[in-house]
Structures are given as structure tokens and as C-alpha cells.
A and B are shown apart, each in its own frame.
Chain A
């Protein structure tokens, strides 16, 4: 056995790191010079440059020129960029960019509002030059619907106002966007049910859905809507804002339960409840027992439900990330939270009521897996008089505390 070990270790000594240039150059160039690196390493380092810095620094050296654009996989084309390019000629410049960055896979056009008329041309140039292009993100509005007709198969991510914007053939009223992976929209109306049903059928591979606002009374609409969403079995991430929930009990609970029971891949959930009734909120939260695979959870809750906040979380045994945005939360909320969230690594708290006193920190220090604690304080919170560094001595895994107040940030590290 010992012999085997020795042999293997010797062979490692002569194993190159896979980059022939590297060894040769490291002998020729000074160790403090970036010239020592081969193209692979150089390209890897430069892959963290901003898009514009790449063009600015292309002529540092021939090695920079060879490697600086290789790692451009995503590109963000927005109004600002187009305005800047317009000083020269759009077609020529976009063509140059597309030729220099042949590895682009994703184009994000969500920042194109005013310059929409350029979208087809821009997309055509990239499609012709970047053979790996396969994802386009865009806003869908009446003036971009025709873009979808042309480039539909490439579009994987859409943002829009109304669900009806996803009907891209307005004359027949029939063609819908399809095969999306990510979708977010603002307003949902009771009479969208049928459309949602068709949309879900056309977009079975959706992984992420974000329903931004729902102002209307949803008691009658929620069950149907959640029933449709529960057909998206590939869903990994869901964000729901449920506006007014009034006296009808268990509606939200049962609706959310349907999603939890059917969307087995769901790992990240963001919930916002508009109701101020503690009973209704507690009930709705109780549906979390059906989301046992959840890893990340964001909660925005307007009711005072302190002592019942953490209880339903005990069912989410894999929960590692929790974000709390609760205007009425008090220090009591955290009592025994460690029992319900034994694997929590990341905790974000928006502290509306200055609850981060000794009692509260004591409870937080008992979270056995907590690594990162982030707290947003009210404007006038006095950071100087509170010492958080003491937490490190009591909390086994805690690495970092970040406190935000009045645009200032204070860090603590172990």
C-alpha cells in the first residue's frame, strides 16, 4: 500500500496543470508579472471584467486580445448601451461585438424599452454570429409581440404586465408564448383563469414564476389559480403575492397546499400576504408543512403572528435560507427558533421595531447552523451602542454579520 501511495504521489509531481504554456512561461517571466500565465489562466482571470472594460482593455497585450472576450457568455443589451452605440453605427458596432464575442449564449433585452425598434436587427446579428445563442430574455409588450413571432424559439424568459400580453398573435388571439423557463408578470385578474390554463399547458418546462402584484380580492380566484400553477411540476422557484384575503378561512391554506403537494421540485418560495388578520396568516403559513423540500423562503407578512411564525417552518427540514420582512414582528418571534430551523445558514431580518436586543440575539445565537446574519435597521438605529461581535463566541458556525443602517453597513467577522 505504501508503495502504491508513493508511486502515485511521484506521478503527481510531474503532472502538469493541463496548461503547457504555463510551465514554460513561468520560467521565462517574472513571478510578479501577469505575463507568466498561459492563455487559459489569463482568460479565466479576465472573465470577471465588466463588458465595457473588456473593450477598453483589449489592447493591453496580444494575450489580452486573444482571451478577453472568450468568457462573454451573457450580454445585456439595454437602452443605455444602444444610445451609446448610436453615436457610431448600430449595425456595424453590434456586428463587431457579436464577432468578438462568439460564445454568447444568453441575451438579456429586458432593459430595451425606448429602443425597441432595434431589437430584431440586434437579435439577427447575434444569431448569425453566435452559434451557441439559445436564450433570450425580454419584456413582452404590444410593440415587442412581433419580435416573438420572429425569435420565439429562442425566448426563454419573459416579463410582462398582464397575462394577456403573452398572447402574441393578437389577430387570431390564439398563439401563446411557449417553452418559457422563467416568467414574471404584474397583474392577475379573475377573468385570466382560462388564459392561465392555456399558458400553463404551453409552458410545462417553467422553472421559475413570479406573480408580482395582486390587488384584487382573491378569495374566489386563488384556488383556481393555484390549481393551475400546481400543474407546473418542473417549478423550482415561485414568488406569490396574495393581496386581500378576507374572512373566508382556509382558502389560502388549501390553495398553497395544492402547489406544495404537486410541485415536488420547488425549492425556493417567496410569499407575501396582504391580510392583517393573524388567524388567516397563521392558517396560510401552516400550508408550509406541504413544502418539505424547501431550501429558501422569503416571507412578507403584515399581521402580528410572533409566536406562531417559526412553528410551521419545522416541516421544512431542508431550509437553509430565510428572509423575514415582518413589520409587526417583536423579539418574541425568535423564541426557540433554533428548534424549528436546525439547518438554517442564512438569515435576513428587516428590523422594523428595534427588536435586536440581548434577548433576541440570545435566541439567534442558538441556531446551530447559522453562518450569515444580515439585519436591516430603521434609519435612526444606533449601531455604536450595540456590540454584535459577542455573538461569535456563542454561535458555533457564525462567520459573518452584516448590519445595514441609513445607507451605512457594518461588518463583523469571526
Chain B
């Protein structure tokens, strides 16, 4: 039969991933805190993944923690990041034959991600996004970015500045000129 000849290559892969996540590695924040994380989950970070691959898994497991030197990787941010990767490591992978990535961009955040990212402390929120960007965890950067965009959706410029603590460096004239250029957006259809 046609399908018997066809080797299924992913099977082992998934088991290996699950097995590997039982292996714990240590991650060290820029503030010095050391936290454990499953290996497969940690490898959602391309930064960590590259390090593990160049050092070898054994070295990472048995030696000192991986140091995440960027100042955005605070203790609190790293704890959030580990929580996120431990939840998402077994997500279905993006299929590059399709527009999965584009579809996901336009999708609303899952309920879990919404609750995860809805933190009151804006400094922590920005730390998580910046740290995820530094650690190269694209999925988490996306969660943070979508959250911010959903908060400022439909808001006025002034409201956005107040919310995100942004300095307005336009003169009133410059602002007027942009408004005029984008006048069509305010027309009722």
C-alpha cells in the first residue's frame, strides 16, 4: 500500500522533545536570580537554543547556568518568560508551506495568553517584551506586541501617549499637518 512505504519522520521527534523537556537547565537573570526551565521549553528562545547547540546539551545541564545579560531580563521578567515557554513548548509548529504565520498575526490572542500578559506593572510588561526580543522568542514578543496594540486600539494620540508614557516631540503645527494628510481616516463612511 502506498502509505506504508512512507516513513513518518515526526513521530520520534515529538517524543524526543517531550523527553528533553524533562531535562532541566538553569537560566540566570541579569539581576543574578537562577531559575530552572525544561530544555525543550528553553529552546523556544533562539538565543538559548544556539548556545545549547554550540555547547552541547550535557555541558549546559551539568555546568553553570546560562547567563542572560541584557538588563531587561530581570528576575520578574525571566520568571514570566519561563512560565510562557513551559506552557507553549509543545504548540504545533508553524508550517511554512501555508500562511500560518500571517493567519496567526491576525488572530486574537488566546485566552491563556491574554491573562498571562495582562500585567499591571508596565515596566514589567516592557521588560518581558524586551527580554523576549533579546532572547529571540518570537511568539512571546508577538503576545506582548498584540497586547499593547489591543490596548491602544481606537484611542486618541493623547490617550496613547498617557497610557504608554510617550513624550510628544511634535510641534502643534507638525501634528496638524499630519492630521490633515490623514483626514480621510476621520471621514464617516
A: which residues have CB within 8 A of B? Answer: 1-2, 4-6, 8-10, 12-15, 17, 22, 26, 30-37, 41, 44-50, 52-53, 55-65, 74, 80, 83-85, 87-88, 93, 96, 207, 236-237, 260-261, 265, 267-268, 289-290, 292-293, 295, 315, 317-318, 320-321, 343, 345-346, 369, 371, 397, 399-400, 411, 413
Contact = CB atoms under 8 A, between A and B. Distances in A.
- Closest CB pairs A-B (n = 7): A292-B3, A13-B69, A33-B165, A87-B187, A31-B123, A48-B149, A84-B189
B2 A52 contact: no
B53 to A, nearest CB: 12
Given A17-B70, A83-B189, A289-B2, 9 more contacts: A12-B68, A33-B164, A37-B130, A44-B133, A47-B145, A57-B155, A320-B92, A343-B14, A399-B87
A61 B169 contact: yes
Interface string B1-37: 1110010101100100000000000000000000000
A6 B185 contact: no
Interface string B83-104: 0000100111001011000100
B120 to A, nearest CB: 11
26 contacts: A33-B166, A33-B167, A34-B148, A36-B130, A45-B149, A48-B145, A50-B153, A52-B185, A53-B149, A53-B152, A53-B153, A56-B157, A59-B175, A59-B179, A60-B161, A84-B185, A85-B187, A88-B183, A236-B97, A289-B2, A290-B3, A317-B8, A343-B10, A369-B14, A400-B111, A400-B112
Given A31-B123, A31-B126, A84-B189, A59 B98 contact: no
A61 B168 contact: yes
Nearest to A260: B2
A170 B145 CA distance: 49
Interface string B64-87: 101111111000000000000001
B170 to A, nearest CB: 6
Nearest to B131: A17
Contacts of B133: 17, 41, 44
A8 B54 contact: yes
A57 B90 CA distance: 37
Nearest to B59: A5
Contacts of A400: 110-112
A31 B121 CA distance: 10
A59 B178 contact: yes
A57 B160 CA distance: 8
B2 A9 contact: no
- Which secondary structure dominates chain B's binding surface? helix
A1 B55 CA distance: 9
Interface in B142-189: 142, 144-146, 148-150, 152-157, 160-161, 164-170, 174-175, 178-179, 181-185, 187-189
Contact of B90 (A63, A74, A371): A371
Contacts of A289: 1-3
A64 B8 CA distance: 48
Interface string B113-154: 000000001110011011001100000011011101110111
A5 B64 contact: yes
Given A35-B166, A343-B14, A413 B185 contact: no
A9 B189 contact: no
B161 A35 contact: no
A34 B67 contact: no
Contacts of A34: 126, 148, 164-166
Contacts of B8: 317-318
Contacts of B67: 9-10, 12-13
Contact of A45 (B3, B111, B129): B129
Contacts of A2: 63
Contacts of B95: 267, 295
A55 B54 CA distance: 45
Contact of B2 (A15, A57, A83, A292): A292
A397 B160 CA distance: 40
B92 A345 contact: yes
Nearest to B2: A290
A96 B153 contact: no
Given A8-B54, A32-B123, A60-B161, A48 B146 contact: yes
Given A45-B129, A292-B3, A346-B92, A88 B167 contact: no
